[in-house]
């Protein structure tokens, strides 16, 4: 028999002070503000490692700290309060995971860029803060309903943005590229010469890629689209017979926007996850977990659910037939095979880093060492949220993550088997049902005001449609989610969470704030803290601990990351503007200052090396420029570790210098850098071909071995991108002044005199 809890009769409620009341409203509004912020600034792809997510970390940790402060400042010792307002085992697991990731970042610093590691580690701290705060904010039925409504508004807005890109922006860009490819490449700032593998990759992505809205990758956007579709499906399932015509039209309108956007992004994983989510909505009774008997006939309910699943499958197949590209879904087996190769390489990486993992932010630089020789894609994560956690922090991190989900499931079952205290007294909620929406509206206004003020506003051409449509459809369905009771809300949260985790099991996005924020918010809404009418000194002590943790984290975040990263970024922008205006002297001074502004980052030293090697050419090989360049290159290597990408960049600089001045030392250093890069990327056909080029010029006895390796690698995987005619090599010969402006590059097929099958 379950242990029952007996409580004393509650004391009369004491009204909180105006300051505490205001703090509660701000805490609730902050949830909506952060939701809108991550929609506009999702920090997708590798942006989180570059420090793009630090302001998200500030918002998340500040939110947790504010919630702890509100719980700590009780209006009266005898008044009601949040039970367990401080940490419980879920919170301890979350904060333990964040702490362990930060430890892993520092202990892996010798082989990686410490700044990139700490930047991603702060994302894990943000995730813990979001979970801790949301468990104390999304507690009442009204709050949870409002958050789902805001989620729909965000996803609809992104869907409109995506459709605008798919129907207008992308076709215009493709037409411009076909008219003048070189001009488009220059505008993108990409080094992709004609007849190069880089140009081929760019063309493939431009011609075949889907829309991304505010994200960098279509798969990340797809995660938001599937959440929107699943939530609308849940609303239709539970409220269709109870809502007015306006609500029904609004729900259909949301689907009219979301479904085409989901198909447009061409994510097979997201489509499968969406169908799974809708099937779960159809199969699960809205009174699941209730001790009361189910209403109506079980047979009729089961039959209706099965019919819903069948119809979902049929509509999905019809949608694929009408809107899908046969080549797109025909490549699903090959795509899954690639995922298996990613996961196998990740496992091999883990065997070499069994305790701490590779460290946060370090996966991409190490992946090339372990990837299968048949593959060419240089991925930034394993495309599986469990393996990404494992690779970043090792088995301990994975165990802590699993513990969070297991404990969360137990907490959910606890809510299902007992009446929810929040339904009895909404006075204890942090605000009212409009506060979260007001917070989102305020953040929307701030983003647009600051964007227009700084000339960095979002894309007006698409958002002039996206914002009004999202607000209009949100207004039309505002009463729909008010029909959902706590158990139906639990189901909507559970199905959305499972669907997005299914997507993240075969896709990237686990460390993207614009995607993962919704995971932790959904989990927080499911594992919400109970409200009781008893007082607890222990709870207040725990709130003090939570408050102290939040304040300490904010101080560390500010001085350890935000200030140095922000100052370096500001200096680099000034240096770039000076260089574009032709003021090389000022640009050089600012770059040197940027190197010292953040002593953990390799970004400024790499850019400084690029600038200084150009200065060597401009100043006709002056000794002062040489010394400055050598020092900058050493700093870059020291901060970046043995990164194949950095080593390749420094090697090409040395090869360019050799072409202009013919100094043997430059050729020797280039070869050393390439050898180091090869150790970290032994399946790279360009590195093998470039080393073969140098060996042939030097009459090295290993030249034939390098030529054979390059030829073998170019034929693996039957991948056109690996063709030797597309690998542009820096010729290892003195050229003189003709090479001063641009390095001389030629096809590996031409330089290595190799026959090649061009029919691939």
Residue 759: band (very low, low, confident or very high) from pLDDT cuts 50, 70, 90? very low
pLDDT for res 616: 95
| pLDDT at position 471 over 80 | yes
SS3 of 150-177? HHHHHHHHHHHHHHHHHHHHHHHHHHHH
User: Taking Cα atoms as reference points, which of 127, 19, 62 lies closest to residue 549?
Assistant: 62
Is residue 80's pLDDT more than 50? no
Structure-derived torsion over alpha carbons of residues 719, 722, 723, 729, reported in degrees to the nearest 10: 170
CA–CA separation, 204 vs 723, rounded Å?
Answer: 15
Question: Distance between CA 513 and CA 34 in Å, rounded?
Answer: 10
The CA distance from 163 to 584, in Å, is 43
List the structure tokens of 181.
Answer: 């490819």
Average pLDDT over residues 85-99: 85
Name 82's bridge partners.
531
Residue 38 CA: distances (Å) to CA of 126, 422, 624: 12, 28, 46
Token digits for 470?
A: 């999202």
206: pLDDT confidence band, cut at 50, 70 and 90?
confident
pLDDT tens-place string over residues 242-299? 999 999 999 999 999 999 999 999 898 999 999 999 988 988 765 544 444 444 445 5
Per-residue pLDDT averaged across 637-644, rounded?
91
Q: What is the pLDDT of residue 519?
A: 97
- Please give the pLDDT value at position 324: 57
- Note the pLDDT of residue 305: 55
Q: What pLDDT is attached to residue 540?
A: 52
With a cut of 90, say whether residue 647 has pLDDT above it: yes
**270, 225 Cβ separation under 8 angstroms:** yes
At residue 140's C-alpha, the angle toward residues 134 and 142, to 5°, is 105
Instruction: State the average pLDDT over residues 503-531.
Output: 92
Indicate the pLDDT class of residue 79, thresholds 50, 70 and 90. Answer: very low
Is a pLDDT exceeding 80 seen at residue 658? Answer: yes
Alpha-carbon 482 to chain mean position:
31
pLDDT band at residue 41 using 50, 70 and 90 as cut-offs = very high
d(CA 536, CA 171): 62
Q: How many residues does the chain have?
A: 760
Q: Which of the residue ranges 269-278, 301-310, 586-595 would you say has the lowest mean pLDDT? A: 301-310
At 297 the pLDDT is 46
- % of the chain at pLDDT higher than 70: 84
What is the C-alpha separation between 353 and 351, in angstroms, rounded? 6
pLDDT of residue 97 exceeding 90, the answer is yes
d(CA 31, CA 301): 36
369 within 8 A of 681, measured Cβ to Cβ:
yes
pLDDT in tens, 311-343: 666 666 555 555 555 555 566 677 788 889 999
104: pLDDT strictly greater than 80: yes
Which pLDDT value is given to residue 208?
A: 80
Looking at residue 351, the DSSP 8-state letter turns out to be: H
pLDDT of residue 225: 97
Averaged pLDDT, 484-493: 92
Task: Identify how many contiguous H helices and E strands the chain contains and give both numbers.
Answer: 30, 4
> What does the DSSP 8-state code read for residue 561?
I
pLDDT at 663 over 70: yes
Lowest mean pLDDT among 37-41, 378-382, 389-393, 469-473: 378-382
Report residue 227 CA to chain centroid gap.
16
Q: According to CATH, where is 1.25.40.10 located in the chain?
A: 569-752
Q: For residue 375, what pLDDT is reported?
A: 82
357 token code pair? 């993992």
Proportion of the chain above pLDDT 90, given as a percent: 65
Instruction: List the one residue out of 602, 558, 597, 557 whose CA is nearest residue 574.
Output: 597
pLDDT > 80? residue 434: yes
Amino acid 5: pLDDT:
41
pLDDT tens by residue, 677-694: 999 999 999 999 999 999
Tell me, what's the pLDDT at 88? Answer: 84
* For range 547-560, the mean pLDDT: 95
Q: What is the pLDDT of residue 542?
A: 59
pLDDT (mean) for 92-117: 94
Residue 45, pLDDT > 90, answer no
Q: Hey, is 81 helix, strand or coil?
A: strand
Answer whether residue 112 shows pLDDT above 90: no
Q: What is the pLDDT of residue 121?
A: 97
Fold designation for 569-752: 1.25.40
The CA distance from 171 to 415, in Å, is 50
Does the pLDDT value for residue 620 go beyond 50?
A: yes
Contact of 341 with 374, CB cutoff 8 Å: yes
Instruction: Band the pLDDT of 398: cuts 50, 70, 90.
Output: very high
- The structure tokens 């992104």 sit at 158
Could you give the C-alpha distances from 339 to 210, 271, 352, 454, 610, in angstroms and in order? 20, 17, 20, 41, 35
- Which spans in 76-113 are helix H? 89-107
Q: How far is CA 208 from the centre of its chain?
A: 22
Q: What is the pLDDT of residue 423?
A: 45
Q: Output the pLDDT for position 287.
A: 53
Q: What pLDDT score was predicted for residue 125?
A: 97
pLDDT of amino acid 422: 43
pLDDT, residue 320, reads 57
pLDDT at 601 over 80: yes
Q: How far apart are CA 64 and CA 514, in angstroms?
A: 18
| 676 vs 695: CA distance, rounded Å | 15
Q: What is the pLDDT of residues 148-200, one digit of tens each?
A: 999 999 999 999 999 999 999 999 999 999 999 888 888 888 888 888 888 88
Confidence label for 536 from pLDDT (cuts 50, 70 and 90)? very low
pLDDT value of position 451: 92
pLDDT of residue 627: 94
């Amino acid at each position: 028999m379950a242990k029952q809890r007996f409580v004393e009769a509650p004391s009369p409620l004491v009204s909180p002070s105006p300051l505490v009341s205001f703090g509660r409203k701000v805490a609730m509004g902050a949830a909506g503000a952060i939701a809108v912020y991550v929609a506009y600034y999702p920090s997708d792809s590798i942006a989180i490692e570059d420090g793009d997510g630090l302001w998200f970390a500030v918002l998340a940790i500040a939110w947790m700290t504010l919630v702890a402060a509100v719980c700590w400042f009780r209006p009266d010792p005898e008044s009601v309060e949040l039970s367990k307002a401080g940490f419980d085992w879920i919170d301890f697991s979350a904060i333990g995971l964040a702490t362990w990731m930060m430890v892993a970042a520092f202990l892996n610093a010798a082989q990686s860029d410490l700044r990139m590691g700490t930047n991603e580690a702060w994302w894990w701290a943000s995730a813990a803060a979001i979970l801790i705060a949301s468990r104390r904010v999304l507690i009442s039925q009204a709050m949870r309903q409002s958050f789902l409504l805001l989620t729909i508004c965000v996803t609809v807005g992104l869907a409109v943005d995506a459709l605008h890109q798919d129907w207008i922006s992308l076709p215009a860009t493709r037409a411009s590229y076909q008219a003048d490819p070189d001009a488009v490449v220059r505008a993108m700032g990409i080094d992709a010469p004609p007849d190069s593998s880089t140009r081929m990759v760019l063309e493939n992505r431009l011609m075949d890629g889907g829309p991304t809205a505010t994200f960098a990758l279509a798969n990340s956007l797809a995660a938001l689209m599937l959440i929107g579709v699943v939530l609308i499906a849940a609303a239709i399932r539970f409220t269709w017979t109870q809502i007015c015509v306006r609500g029904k039209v609004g729900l259909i309108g949301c689907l009219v926007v979301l479904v085409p956007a989901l198909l447009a992004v061409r994510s097979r994983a997201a489509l499968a996850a969406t169908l799974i989510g809708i099937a779960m909505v159809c199969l699960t009774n809205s009174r699941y977990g209730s001790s009361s008997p189910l209403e109506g006939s079980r047979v009729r309910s089961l039959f209706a659910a099965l019919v819903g699943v069948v119809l979902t499958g049929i509509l999905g197949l019809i949608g694929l037939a009408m809107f899908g590209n046969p080549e797109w879904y025909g490549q699903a087996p090959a795509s899954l095979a690639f995922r298996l190769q990613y996961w196998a390489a990740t496992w091999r990486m883990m065997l070499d880093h069994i305790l701490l993992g590779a460290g946060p932010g370090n996966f991409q630089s190490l992946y090339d060492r372990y990837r299968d020789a048949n593959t060419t894609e240089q991925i930034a994560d394993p495309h599986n949220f469990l393996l990404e956690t494992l690779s970043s922090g090792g088995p301990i991190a994975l165990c802590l993550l699993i513990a969070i989900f297991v404990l969360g499931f137990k907490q959910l079952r606890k809510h299902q088997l007992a009446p929810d205290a929040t339904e009895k007294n909404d006075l204890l909620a942090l605000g009212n049902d409009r506060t979260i929406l007001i917070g989102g509206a305020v953040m929307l206004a701030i983003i647009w005001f600051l964007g227009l003020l700084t000339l960095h506003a979002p894309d007006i051409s698409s958002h002039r449609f996206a914002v009004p449509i999202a607000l209009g459809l949100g207004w039309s369905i505002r009463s729909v989610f008010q029909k959902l009771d706590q158990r139906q809300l639990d189901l909507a949260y559970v199905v959305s969470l499972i669907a997005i985790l299914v997507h993240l099991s075969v896709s990237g996005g686990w460390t993207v704030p614009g995607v993962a924020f919704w995971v932790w918010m959904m989990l927080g809404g499911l594992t919400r803290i109970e409200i009781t009418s008893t007082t607890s000194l222990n709870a207040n002590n725990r709130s003090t601990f939570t408050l102290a943790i939040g304040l300490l984290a904010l101080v560390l975040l500010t001085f350890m990351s935000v200030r140095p990263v922000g100052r370096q970024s500001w200096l680099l922008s000034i240096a770039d503007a000076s260089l574009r205006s032709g003021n090389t002297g000022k640009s050089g001074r600012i770059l040197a200052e940027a190197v010292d502004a953040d002593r953990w980052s390799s970004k400024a030293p790499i850019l400084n090396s690029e600038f200084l090697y150009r200065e060597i050419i401009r100043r006709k090989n002056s000794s002062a420029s040489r010394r400055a360049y050598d020092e900058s290159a050493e700093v870059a290597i020291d901060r970046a570790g043995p990164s194949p990408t950095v080593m390749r960049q420094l090697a090409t600089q040395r090869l360019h210098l050799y072409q202009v001045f013919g100094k043997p030392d430059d050729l020797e250093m280039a070869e050393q850098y390439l050898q180091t890069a090869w150790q970290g990327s032994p399946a790279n056909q360009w590195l093998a071909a470039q080393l073969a080029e140098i060996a042939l010029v030097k009459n090295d006895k290993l030249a034939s071995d390098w030529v054979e390796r390059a030829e073998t690698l170019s034929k693996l995987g039957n991948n056109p991108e690996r063709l030797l005619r597309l690998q542009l090599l820096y010729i290892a010969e003195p050229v003189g002044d003709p090479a001063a402006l641009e390095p001389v590059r030629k096809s590996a097929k031409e330089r290595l005199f190799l026959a090649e099958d061009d029919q691939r």
